[in-house]
């Protein structure tokens, strides 16, 4: 899918303060449909806070968030999910006692219409048919992420890399227009990172999801992102194409610090 | 829902429909049918005393399943389950006595009334968690107990309410033998509904809310709605169980529904296995049979040693202490309940004698 010019998500002058701590200060950005947009920054820069403002976990102290032109600032996370917003978490947040399959089926929640009564009666109420139809869709995601061998495993017993993948599967099951990935590659080895990067590119290009990703691995970020935004101490210090960000002096200072004696070094790698 | 991660050897499923059945293997389905048939045949051989115990397991088991959906699946807590159980008993008697609703219809209707009450008392659950919620439900226990004692029009006040026996096509089903079939019918239906609930959308939402409420919310689950709904469903089960209890005894009085019974319900699901449908029935059977077993043990001891007055007089305390001891021992040694132990036993015999 190609990147279009229509903004699917717009964040306008968002500030977030916890008491006296200013986590975010007047951050604005816009993500276009089909884009793979990365947010980077040193630890504590406010990346996850930004994502939480977008997903509805935090309500910004000031500023607005728009999805498809609609103001979603005051909406709770579950309503935003029904509008087409999926996310994964930095620290794993799977439903530990459920099977992988059930975990992913939970992602279909807002797409299913059976309720406690029709679900309990099961036969003859359409609940069975609906569950089976959605099971089909879920299997497509399972195939795509290559987790068929663990679909019946209890999520809490899986190793870290697989759990990350199941979490991605669950977020994909929401059928989001915009998917927020909070450090999808944290703690992975090279091979797992390569796999994950491939999945992210595919879900952007083939599944047509707009991706907003926080990631610390600069190699991956610069390789796969269409655009990158840099945060430092809750402020946006740069936004642009990966190449522009790599050569941005301000970004280098944020990551490497300033030497008192010499001007900041110019190098190829920012990390 | 505690799902098993292992697919038994030799099971090949080729459709999604075959993969979503209640029973993992055809054998376990047949065992379950055989169990129901065996239960249906049991009035022919069992004494009235044992039959009465089975009936108790039935109606307490239905109510305990409701509590398990609330506590085990949704991760809430309720210390007022006995009050909802009692409300169901009074509601069914009231519907039958005041409006002439046939008893068999009054039982599910009482369940619906209790559901509405549960939704009302569940509202604090939308905001409270853990100990705070425990105290809020504790309050609902006492509010309802007080209501039972004062609402003469509904409960008959301190004198209690008469509950008519069930009649079907002009036949009165009042004896233990015929009432057993009524209870068996309700147990099968209610457990089937519970199982179905837990494998569809709202059941998964309950477990999601329990396991990780933050990510459940991000998946589009309205936390407040599901926390309250869980109270409603749990009350439905309590109401139906209570109604059966009332019509079985023929007389409903407020003294039967104290906080002690609420704690016993919690004991049933802890011993049986939190979040497990089958475990609920096992735990209920354990809790109902434990005092009887204790009594039998004491009389056996007496048989060999002659009458020991101290033991006889302490029997009531021994029975209660045994329940407490059982809960403590289960919490320490088998926190996943009887159902987990049962799975271990099954897998042991599957591999016997080559256990690895």
Dump pLDDT digits (tens) for B195-213.
Answer: 999 999 999 999 999 999 9
With an 8 Å Cβ cutoff, are B200 and A114 in contact? yes
Least confident of A167-171, B41-45, B105-109, B235-239: B41-45
Q: How many CB atoms lie within 10 A of CB B34?
A: 10
Interface test mutation site (partner B, options A57, A77, A169, max chain B beta carbons within 10 A): A77
Residue of A nearest to B203 (CA): A116
With an 8 Å Cβ cutoff, are B218 and A57 in contact? yes
Chain B residues in contact with A95 (beta carbon < 8 A): 207-208, 211-212, 215-216
**CATH of range A1-84+177-185+207-271; options 3.40.50.150, 3.40.50.10490, 3.40.50.300, 2.60.40.10:** 3.40.50.300
| CATH numeric code, A91-175 | 3.40.50.300
Chain A residues in contact with B21 (beta carbon < 8 A): none
**A2 has a pLDDT exceeding 80:** no
With an 8 Å Cβ cutoff, are B196 and A121 in contact? yes
Percent of chain B at pLDDT above 70? 96
DSSP of A30-88:
EEETT-EEEEE-STTSSHHHHHHHHHTSS--SEEEEEETTEE-TT--HHHHHHTTEEE-
Q: How confident is the model at residue B309 (pLDDT cuts 50, 70, 90)?
A: confident
pLDDT in tens, A77-110: 999 999 999 999 988 899 999 999 999 999 999 9
Domain span holding position B237: 27-258
Nearest CB to B207; choose among A93, A95, A116: A95
Determine, yes or no, domain membership for B77: yes
pLDDT in tens, B138-164: 999 999 999 999 999 998 888 888 888
pLDDT in tens, B318-327: 888 888 888 8
Determine, yes or no, domain membership for B72: yes
- Indicate if A91-175 has the same CATH topology as A1-84+177-185+207-271: yes
Average pLDDT of span A255-262: 70
ipTM of this complex: 0.89
Determine, yes or no, domain membership for B183: yes
With an 8 Å Cβ cutoff, are A57 and B275 in contact? no
Residue of B nearest to A87 (CA): B218
Chain A residues in contact with B216 (beta carbon < 8 A): 95, 106
Determine, yes or no, domain membership for B84: yes
What are the structural domain ranges in chain A? Answer: 1-84+177-185+207-271, 91-175
**Dihedral Cα A98, A102, A108, A112, nearest 10 deg:** -110
Chain A residues in contact with B194 (beta carbon < 8 A): 120
Give residue A260's pLDDT. 64
Chain A residues in contact with B6 (beta carbon < 8 A): 152
Nearest CB to B16; choose among A57, A132, A157: A132
Chain B residues in contact with A91 (beta carbon < 8 A): none
Determine, yes or no, domain membership for B268: no
Query: Taking all residues of chain A, what is their mean pLDDT, rounded to a whole number?
Result: 90
Please tell me what DSSP assigns to residue A5. S
With an 8 Å Cβ cutoff, are B220 and A109 in contact? yes
State how many domains chain B has.
1
Percent of chain A at pLDDT above 70? 94
pLDDT in tens, B226-240: 999 999 999 999 999
- Contacts (Cβ under 8 Å, ≥6 apart) of B210: A97, B73, B74, B75, B275
């Amino acid at each position: 899918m190609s990147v279009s010019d229509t903004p699917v998500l717009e964040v306008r002058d968002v500030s977030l303060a916890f008491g006296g701590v200013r986590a975010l200060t007047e951050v604005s950005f816009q993500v276009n449909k089909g884009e793979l947009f990365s947010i980077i920054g040193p630890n504590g820069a406010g990346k996850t806070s930004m994502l939480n403002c977008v997903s509805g976990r935090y309500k910004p102290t000031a500023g607005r968030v728009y999805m498809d032109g609609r103001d979603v600032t005051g909406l709770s996370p579950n309503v935003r999910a029904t509008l087409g917003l999926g996310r994964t978490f930095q620290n794993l947040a799977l439903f530990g006692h459920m099977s992988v399959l059930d975990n992913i089926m939970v992602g279909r929640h807002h797409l299913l219409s059976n309720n406690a009564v029709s679900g309990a009666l099961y036969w003859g109420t359409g609940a069975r048919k609906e569950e089976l139809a959605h099971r089909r869709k879920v299997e497509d995601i399972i195939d795509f992420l290559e987790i068929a061998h663990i679909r019946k495993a209890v999520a809490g017993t899986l190793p870290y890399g697989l759990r990350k993948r199941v979490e991605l599967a669950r977020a994909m099951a929401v059928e989001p227009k915009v998917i927020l990935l909070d450090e999808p590659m944290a703690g992975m080895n090279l091979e797992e990172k390569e796999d994950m990067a491939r999945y992210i590119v595919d879900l952007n290009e083939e599944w047509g999801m707009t991706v907003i990703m926080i990631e610390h691995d600069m190699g991956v970020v610069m390789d796969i992102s269409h655009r990158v935004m840099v945060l430092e101490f809750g402020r946006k210090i740069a936004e642009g194409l990966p190449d522009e960000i790599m050569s941005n002096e301000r970004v280098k200072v944020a990551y490497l610090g300033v030497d008192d004696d010499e001007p900041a070094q110019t190098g190829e790698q920012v990390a | 829902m505690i799902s098993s991660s292992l697919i038994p050897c030799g099971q090949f499923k080729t459709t999604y429909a075959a993969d979503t059945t209640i029973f993992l293997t055809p054998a376990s389905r047949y065992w379950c049918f055989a169990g129901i048939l065996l239960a249906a045949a049991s009035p022919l051989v069992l004494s009235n005393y044992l039959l009465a115990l089975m009936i108790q397991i039935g109606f307490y088991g239905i109510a305990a399943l409701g509590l398990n959906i609330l506590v085990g699946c949704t991760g809430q807590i309720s210390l007022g389950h006995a009050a909802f159980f009692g409300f169901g008993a009074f509601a069914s008697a009231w519907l039958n006595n005041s409006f002439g609703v046939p008893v068999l219809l009054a039982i599910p209707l009482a369940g619906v009334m209790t559901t509405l009450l549960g939704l009302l008392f569940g509202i604090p659950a939308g905001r409270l968690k853990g100990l705070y919620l425990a105290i809020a439900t504790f309050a609902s226990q006492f509010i309802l107990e007080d209501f039972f004692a004062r609402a003469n029009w509904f409960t008959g006040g301190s004198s209690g309410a008469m509950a008519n026996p069930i009649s079907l096509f002009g036949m009165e089903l009042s004896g233990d033998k015929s009432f057993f079939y009524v209870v068996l019918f309700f147990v099968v239906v209610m457990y089937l509904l519970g199982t179905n609930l837990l494998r569809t959308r709202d059941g998964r939402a309950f477990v999601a809310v329990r396991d990780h409420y933050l990510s459940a919310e991000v998946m589009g689950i309205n936390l407040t709605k599901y926390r309250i709904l869980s109270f409603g469903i749990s009350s439905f089960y309590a109401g139906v169980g209570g109604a059966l209890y009332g019509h079985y005894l023929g007389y409903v009085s407020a003294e039967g529904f104290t906080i002690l019974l609420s704690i016993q319900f919690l004991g049933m699901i802890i011993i049986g296995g939190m979040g497990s449908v089958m475990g609920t029935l096992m735990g209920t059977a354990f809790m109902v049979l434990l005092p009887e077993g204790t009594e039998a043990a004491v009389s056996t001891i007496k048989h060999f040693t002659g009458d020991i007055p101290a033991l006889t007089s302490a029997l009531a305390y021994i029975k209660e202490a045994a329940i407490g001891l059982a809960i403590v021992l289960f919490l320490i040694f088998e926190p996943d309940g009887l159902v987990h132990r049962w799975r271990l036993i099954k897998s042991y015999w599957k591999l016997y004698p080559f256990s690895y």
